[in-house]
Structure formats: C-alpha cells, structure tokens
Structure 1
Amino acid sequence: MTVAPQPTTGRRLLVVERAYRGSVETQFADVLYLARELNRQQDGLDILLRGLAVTFATADDDAPARSLRIGRIDLDTLPDPRASLRTLLAEGAGVWAEEADLTGLGTAPDRLLPGVRRARPDSRPDWSAYQGVHFL
C-alpha cells in the first residue's frame, strides 16, 4: 500500500467539495482565494478536491474563464479556479483531486493540471498527520 507524503508539522488540509466559482458580489473572495491566504499565513496547507470541485483541477487547454453577460454588460472579473490552483501549487500547496470523482465525471488522467495528484484509495493524504482538517 502506497501512502501519500506526510505533511510537515503545522500544515492543514482543506477539503473542498463544492465547485462554487463566486458571485458578482464576492468576485475576489472565492474558496481558493481563502486557501491562498491560509497557505500564506499558516505554515502551508494541502487541498483535497472532491465532488464537483475536482473540475477546478482539470486542464482546459489554458482557456480563460468565461465572462458572464448581464444585460448589456460583460462581467469578466469572476475568479478563475484553474489559475488560482496554479498559483497555490507555485506557492507550495499540495493539491489532490479525488480519483473516483474524476472518473465519475469522465476526466482522463492526462487532463489534470501539472502538479495535481489523483487521490486514490491507497494514496490519499493521511488526515491524522495534519494539524487540522477543514471543510470549505
């Protein structure tokens, strides 16, 4: 049985299950924005994406996030989850995407962003090794 690398002391695990991209009122403060701030302020963290949130980790040929049209106005300032994950990875966060959810959505193994690991039954983060586990 292969076990995922263990976090260093002080790291936290964030579990994200909902693929909520943000709204007009909170354009800058989506769940991954919060994760970036926690990563910066608290000795690092790892993220486990489950449910529809695994779609944040899928490569989409670097297509930019789509804008939202409201009447005659194009709102193009909504968060881009893929860009946020790339930044988190660059800043040292570990990111896993639940394999069962990826498979259920028909995501091929080669469609994940570079650096995102598939969370398999034998290679998930060990929750007991973290200082805290938080569901966002």
Structure 2
Amino acid sequence: MGDHQGRRRLLIVERAYRGALETQFADVLYLARELNRQQNGADVLLRGLAVTCAAADTRPAPSLVVGRRTLDTLPDPRDSVRSLLENGATVWAEEADLALFETGPHWLQPGVRRAGGADPLPDWSAYRGVHFL
C-alpha cells in the first residue's frame, strides 16, 4: 500500500443501491469523493453488491419514470468510481464478491484493484480511520 495509508481513511461500501430519488443529489460514493477531497485522502473497499459500482460498463445510466415524469439526473456509481480514481483514491473490489458478477477479463474498470486474490486486502489497522458507509 504505501506510507500514505496512515493519514488516509478507509471507506467500506457494501450496499450498491440505496434508492434513486433519495440519493439523486448525494449518494454514498459522492460522500466518499468528498471525504477523499477534504480529509487528506480516502481509499474505498467495495464489497458485496457494491462491487458492481466498479463495472466497466459504459452504457448510460437508465432513467427512472415516475408517473409522467422522467428522472434522468440520477447518479451513476460507475462515474463516481472513475472520479475517485482520477482524484487519487485507491479503489478495491473484493475478489470473492467479484466472482459473483464478473463476466470477463475486462469487466472491472481500469485502475480498480482486486482485494483478496493476488492483491491483498488493505491493512485496516494502518488507516487513520475505517468507516462503513
């Protein structure tokens, strides 16, 4: 990992989807991006269904139709993961959970690390704080 780990926070995300309308302006990965920006860096470990946020799928996020209204301002977690990587966060996806969804060698976004296979899980004790989001 590196010596910067002690100053950073580890953010663990296990739930991929928490509702569309409730989170259209600030989802859990938005919080992770802000913590990374404001708190001297943060790394993210995606577990459970949240590993799907790291999918390399480039199709646009679907819109949601409610009555006669179409909501197309919903956050796309894949974009949030790309933004985290671009802004210096390390993003891991847990290997055991990836195995449930992965459909090929290019399924995972470039830059996302596999945790638990050849790449070890982050050392939680070396972080400034560990937070489950």
Q: Give TM-score scaled by structure 1 length.
A: 0.89
Q: Name the CA distance, whole Å, in 2 between partners of 1:30 and 1:22.
A: 9
| Residue aligning to 1:23 | 20
Q: CA deviation at 1:6?
A: 3.3
For structure 2, the 5+ residue unaligned runs are none
Alignment-mate amino acid for residue 120 of structure 1: G
Identify which range, 118-127 or 78-87, moves more after superposition. Answer: 118-127
Matches within 5 A, 1:1-136: 5-6=1-2, 8=4, 9-20=6-17, 22-60=19-57, 62-121=58-117, 123-136=120-133
Q: Name the CA distance, whole Å, in 2 between partners of 1:101 and 1:24.
A: 27
For structure 1, the 5+ residue unaligned runs are none
Q: Name the CA distance, whole Å, in 2 between partners of 1:98 and 1:134.
A: 16
Question: Helix, strand or coil: the match of 1:52?
Answer: helix
Residues 12 and 130, structure 1, Cα contact 8 Å, conserved in 2: yes
Question: Helix, strand or coil: the match of 1:97?
Answer: strand
* % same residue: 69
Q: Name the CA distance, whole Å, in 2 between partners of 1:7 and 1:66.
A: 40
Q: CA deviation at 1:71?
A: 1.4
Q: CA RMSD in A?
A: 1.5
Question: Helix, strand or coil: the match of 1:47?
Answer: strand
Q: Name the CA distance, whole Å, in 1 between partners of 2:17 and 2:3.
A: 27
Q: CA deviation at 1:120?
A: 1.4
Identify which range, 25-34 or 79-88, moves more after superposition. Answer: 25-34
Q: Name the CA distance, whole Å, in 1 between partners of 2:92 and 2:107.
A: 14
Q: Structure 1 residues 29 and 38 mapped into 2: Cα distance closer, same or farther (>3 Å)?
A: same
Q: Name the CA distance, whole Å, in 2 between partners of 1:25 and 1:103.
A: 30
